[in-house]
Amino acid sequence: MSERKFVPQAELDRQFSICDQLKKEIEPRGLTFYVETFGCQMNVRDSETIKGILTNIGYGEAPDKEHADLILYNTCCVREHAEKRLMGNIGALKELKEANPGLIIGVCGCMMQQEGVAKKLLRRFPHVNLVFGTHVLHRLPEMLAHVFAGDRLAMTGEEDFAIAEGLPQLRDNPRSAFVNITFGCNNFCTYCIVPYVRGRERSRDPEAIRAEVAALCASGVTEITLLGQNVNSYANDLESGSFAELLSLLNDVPGLKRLRFMSSHPKDLNDDVIRAIRETDKVCHHVHLPVQSGSNAILRRMNRRYTREQYLEIIRKLREAVPDIEFTTDIIVGFPGETEEMFHETLSLVEEVGFAAAFTFAYSPRNGTPAARMEDQIPEDSKKRRLYELNDLQAQKTVENNQKYIGYTGELLVEGCDDRGTETMLYGKYQNFKMVYFPGDPSLLNRYVNVRVLRAERNSLIGEQIHG
Ligand code: SF4
């Protein structure tokens, strides 16, 4: 069991007192921030903490970067060419800085944890004031104090994987919130950069998670999504507890209506978790279960540590325990060494499972990962063709999946609205993640309504509100 580290309360208090000092200067000047987030829910969640800290320092939120006194890019290194795109975005800020020399420009996020990137960025862009990694978010007040004193700095804290509890948050959505349960990852899938930039897996204490969920629900949040790179291995680094126990612990938090989680790793989704999903009434009947490939040979090369057969067995057990459960997944095609036959094993798995939706990718190498150094990389045109074939099959499966909802009525949490010329279409999800569009008034936003599905279109369900 690895030793977890926490940021000491004295250090957090020191940061809070710097906040108080900065606030005296910043609040009277009416300064504003703009945070732009790239990448996954982890980054979205980190940005909420960043915004919370900036609000405590006295900043208000600007509507766009043109009106901001502080611009922060929260970066992601998981996608291909992310670094190149980021450099372009930062270069483009030079004009804003020339127009407003007092503008503070910062760059943070997991890309800054990649070796050498932070220093390179500071060297290349003199208009950037501040660069920092994911592990030192809690030191943002101190970093800004240095920037106000005229310094330019890069802080990544490569070895410092301590958990910081009790940081302020600024969340946009009044009904739905993400809550971290683990940070980092121990799995080292051979294509993935995450364990190198986010560090080894660290679980939060169950009491701290429950307290955060309870506080959110007391403020009106009703839907919580638990976040981790592999939520199923939650508590592997604690003396006791498990992900299944955490689900049960959170299930009776007053005010909570929906409990979601992502992502799951098939190697750790065990019978206890299946039982917890079945026996709790708040845990939603949806599992995002990345399969990545239907070929055992490729799964081995990816270091996924489960087989196609084991994956299908989990799906079977979950369907048996929870009949209305829906599955979504992630799939990579064209991984090094993938033959046509292996690719067809992926297609046959997609056919067999019938995912509600799949996030599909053509493999692209990430510097620093073992797969990037593998021989037998697949030519781009083959990858593209396979991706096209896979998407075509998944589109058929999505239509089939949608068809079975025609005539179904269920409770929907309204998440947004689209103005479609003559009518406004609201959209939201059933508890099992199926999205439905229906005509309605925007005042229903963030409320629960009953909706019956009238028809299935290629990618979406169309319904009507049922009153009473
Ligand atoms: S489980 Fe694998 S793919 Fe997911 S974050 Fe960890 S190493 Fe990356």
pLDDT band with cut points at 50, 70 and 90 for residue 409? very high
Tell me, yes or no, whether 163 lies in a domain: no
337 and 379 share one domain: yes
The C-alpha atoms of residue 285 and residue 63 are separated, in whole angstroms, by: 37
Enumerate residues 6+ apart whose C-beta is below 8 A from 138. 7, 11, 12, 15, 53, 164, 167
Confidence of residue 392 (pLDDT cuts 50, 70, 90): very high
> Which residue's CA is the closest to the ligand 1 atom numbered 4?
229
| Best mutation site among 41, 79, 202, 229 for ligand 1 pocket (most ligand atoms within 8 Å of CB) | 229
**Do 392 and 335 fall into the same domain?**
yes
Given 236, 258, 284, which residue is the final one in a domain?
284
Q: Which pLDDT tens digit goes with each residue over 250-265?
A: 999 999 999 999 999 9
Is a pLDDT exceeding 60 seen at residue 395? yes
Q: Say if residue 79 is in the same domain as residue 110.
A: yes
Question: Average pLDDT, whole number, for the chain?
Answer: 94
Which of 236, 259, 284 is the last residue in one of the domains?
A: 284
- At 199, is the pLDDT very low, low, confident or very high (cuts 50, 70, 90)? confident
So what's the pLDDT on residue 40? 84
Which ligand 1 atom is at minimum distance from the Cα of 195?
Answer: 7
Which of 101-115, 138-152, 269-283, 302-316 shows the lowest mean pLDDT across its residues?
101-115
% of the chain at pLDDT higher than 90 = 82
Q: Is the pLDDT of residue 325 over 60?
A: yes
The residue whose C-alpha atom lies closest to atom 8 belonging to ligand 1 is 192
Residue 78 Cα to ligand 1 midpoint, Å, equals: 11
| Residues 311 and 387 reside in one and the same domain | yes
In the predicted model, is pLDDT for residue 81 greater than 90?
no
pLDDT of residue 39: 83
CB 222 within 8 Å of CB 258 = yes
pLDDT (mean) for 396-413: 96
Tell me the per-residue pLDDT of 90-138, one tens digit each, with 9 for 90 and over: 999 999 999 999 999 999 988 888 878 888 888 999 999 999 988 899 9
Tell me what pLDDT residue 135 has: 86
pLDDT at 210 over 90: yes
Per-residue model confidence (pLDDT) at position 69: 96
What range defines the domain where residue 441 resides? 409-466
Question: Which pLDDT band holds residue 420 (cuts at 50, 70, 90)?
Answer: confident
Ligand 1 atom with the shortest distance to the CA of 229: 5
Mean pLDDT of 135-159: 89
CATH number where 265 lies: 3.30.750.210
- The answer as to whether 2 is a domain residue is no
Q: Are residues 361 and 414 in the same domain?
A: no
Q: What is the pLDDT of residue 176?
A: 95
Q: Of the residues 187, 201, 302, 335, which should be mutated to test ligand 1's pocket, given the most ligand atoms within 8 Å of the CB?
A: 187
Confidence (pLDDT) at 391: 98
Distance 226 CA to ligand 1 centre (A): 16
Assigned domain for 160 exists: no
Shared domain for 263 and 320, answered yes or no, is no
* Ligand 1 mean position, distance from CA 183 (Å): 12
Ligand 1 center–CA 32 separation, angstroms: 36
Question: 380 and 449: one domain?
Answer: no
**Inside any domain, residue 461:** yes
Same domain membership, residue 31 and residue 134 = yes
Average pLDDT over every residue of 149-173: 86
Residue 337 predicted with pLDDT over 70:
yes
Q: Which of 67-76, 153-162, 172-181 has the lowest mean pLDDT?
A: 153-162
pTM: 0.94
Kindly state whether residue 150 falls inside one of the protein's structural domains: yes
- Alpha-carbon torsion (146, 151, 156, 158), positive or negative: negative
Contact residues of ligand 1, CB 6 A cut-off = 185, 187-189, 192, 194-195, 229-230, 265
pLDDT exceeds cutoff 70 at 64:
yes
Does 307 lie in the same domain as 186? Answer: no
Residue 4 within any structural domain of the chain = no
Average pLDDT over residues 23-28: 94
Residue finishing a domain among 125, 155, 185: 155
Whether 237 is covered by a domain: the verdict is yes
- pLDDT computed for residue 213 by the predictor: 98
Query: Which pLDDT band, with edges at 50, 70 and 90, does 80 fall under?
Result: low
- What is the Å distance from ligand 1's center to 61 Cα? 33
Q: Of all atoms in ligand 1, which is nearest to the CA of residue 188?
A: 7
Say whether pLDDT at 1 is over 60: no
Neighbours of 268 (CB within 10 A): 18
The preferred substitution site among 76, 113, 189, 233 for testing ligand 1, maximizing ligand atoms within 8 Å of CB, is 189
Same domain, 280 and 293: no
Same domain, 52 and 145: yes
pLDDT for res 159: 62
Within a domain: 384: yes
Looking at per-residue pLDDT, the higher value among 462 and 1 belongs to: 462
Predicted pLDDT at 160:
67
We report the CATH number of the domain holding residue 363 as 3.30.750.200
Distance 265 CA to ligand 1 centre (A): 8
Is 180 found in the same domain as 83? no
Q: pLDDT tier at 149 (50, 70, 90 boundaries)?
A: very high
Number of domains in the chain: 4
pLDDT at 158: 61
